[in-house]
Amino acid sequence: MVGNLEYYKVFYYAAKNGSLTGAAAELSISQPAVSQALKQLESALSAKLFVRVPRGIRLTTEGQALYTYVKSGYEQIRLGERKLASMLQLDYGELKIGASDMTLKYYLLPMLQEYHERFPGIKVTVTNAPTPETLNLLQQGEIEFGVVSTPFAGKSRLHVIPVREIEDVFVAGRKFMQYKNHMLELKELEKLPIICLEGSTSTKSYMDEFLKQSGVELHPEFELATSDMIVQFALRNLGVGSVVRDFAKEYLEDGRLFELRFKQMIPKRKICVVADAGGPVSKAAEEFLKMVRAIVRN
């Protein structure tokens, strides 16, 4: 292997132009420098690569064999450089995000719409998963950042940008009107048919822990996969739904559902954009994070 790869660059331009003068012009170096580089390459390879002809130079049989590979390799490098430049200019690239149903619907989706309008050449891949799974994907390098809800573990390893407050509520329909406009004890939830999320979502874990600290243990009537479905069950009077307020907002405003009130306030949580504190992000992800920070500042 020739130690100085610059010799191959000179060889490529000399063969492409069929001229030492032409190679010197493209490389912005002197003709003697081109000639010297080719001699060094021939010496290192112990092979004659060019012969002089009346109008310049011509590849030997050995030179032509070498040029076939050098041309392919050098042009692939140039193609790679153009692709890289395109990515840096945000004309091309990919943005990999993880988000839960809630953070996607009530925070990320409008942001992605604006981002796509500004950078239509960027492919956006969104992995829809609960907060714990999103954080695992981030740790494994499968996504560049996640949009998650608090609380979550491992904050010391993460760059965290809080972007929006959210509020957990219990909602019900007309079958439970006797509870409307009353200040209830949290303990009264134990008597009600509760509808909540299934699995290990941050929302369910947070509510379970909060109620446990208040001496309340729920035995849900229904455990469902999505908050949208919880709201639909509540609309049909199948129980009292535990959701983030945004999911029920439309129905709370038009009166089809009402919010149960408690003497003890349920603390608000936050939606956060998180990235690996020590990991690199692509130019596409960097630009998205700039948008996030700009909105937070304003």
Section 44-69 average pLDDT: 92
According to the model, what pLDDT value does residue 276 have?
Answer: 85
According to the model, what pLDDT value does residue 240 have?
Answer: 97
How do beta strands 93-99 and 145-149 pair? parallel
Section 212-218 average pLDDT: 93
The mean predicted confidence, pLDDT, of the chain is 90
168-267 CATH fold: D-Maltodextrin-Binding Protein; domain 2 (3.40.190)
According to the model, what pLDDT value does residue 14 have?
Answer: 94
* 260 has pLDDT over 60: yes
pTM over 0.85: no
The helix-helix angle for 227-235 and 245-253 (nearest 10°) equals 30
Residues 6+ apart with CB under 8 A from 275: 138, 144, 145, 146, 158, 159, 281, 285, 289
Question: Which region among 77-91, 102-116, 283-297 has the lowest average model confidence (pLDDT)?
Answer: 77-91
Q: What is the DSSP letter of 20?
A: H
* 89 has pLDDT over 90: no
Q: Matching CATH topology for 93-165+270-297 and 168-267?
A: yes
Compute the distance between CA of residue 201 and CA of residue 260 in angstroms, rounded to an integer.
Answer: 22
Section 68-73 average pLDDT: 92
According to the model, what pLDDT value does residue 55 have?
Answer: 85
According to the model, what pLDDT value does residue 1 have?
Answer: 52
* 193 has pLDDT over 90: yes
Q: What are 127-163's pLDDT values in tens digits?
A: 998 888 999 999 888 999 999 998 887 777 888 999 9
According to the model, what pLDDT value does residue 161 have?
Answer: 92
Compute the distance between CA of residue 259 and CA of residue 252 in angstroms, rounded to an integer.
Answer: 7
* 3 has pLDDT over 70: no
Using the CB atoms, write b or e for 275-286: b if 16+ within 10 Å: bbeeeebbbbbe
Q: Which contiguous run of DSSP H or E holds residue 168?
A: strand 168-172
Q: Which contiguous run of DSSP H or E holds residue 276?
A: strand 269-276
Which sign, positive or negative, has the C-alpha torsion 277, 281, 287, 289?
negative
6-88 CATH fold: Arc Repressor Mutant, subunit A (1.10.10)
Residues 6+ apart with CB under 8 A from 214: 186, 187, 264
Joined together, the tokens standing for residue 154 give 């491992």
Section 33-45 average pLDDT: 92
Q: Please tell me the CATH superfamily of domain 93-165+270-297, with its number.
A: Periplasmic binding protein-like II (3.40.190.10)
Higher pLDDT, 277 or 113: 113
Compute the distance between CA of residue 293 and CA of residue 122 in angstroms, rounded to an integer.
Answer: 20
Domain boundaries, the chain: 6-88, 93-165+270-297, 168-267
Q: What is the DSSP letter of 153?
A: S
pLDDT band (50, 70, 90) for residue 74: confident
* 205 has pLDDT over 70: yes
Joined together, the tokens standing for residue 88 give 């840096």
SS3 3: coil
How do beta strands 240-244 and 56-59 pair? unpaired
SS3 224: strand
Section 245-268 average pLDDT: 96
* 5 has pLDDT over 60: yes
Phi/psi region, residue 232 (left: phi>0; alpha: psi -120 to 50; beta: rest), is alpha
pLDDT band (50, 70, 90) for residue 2: low
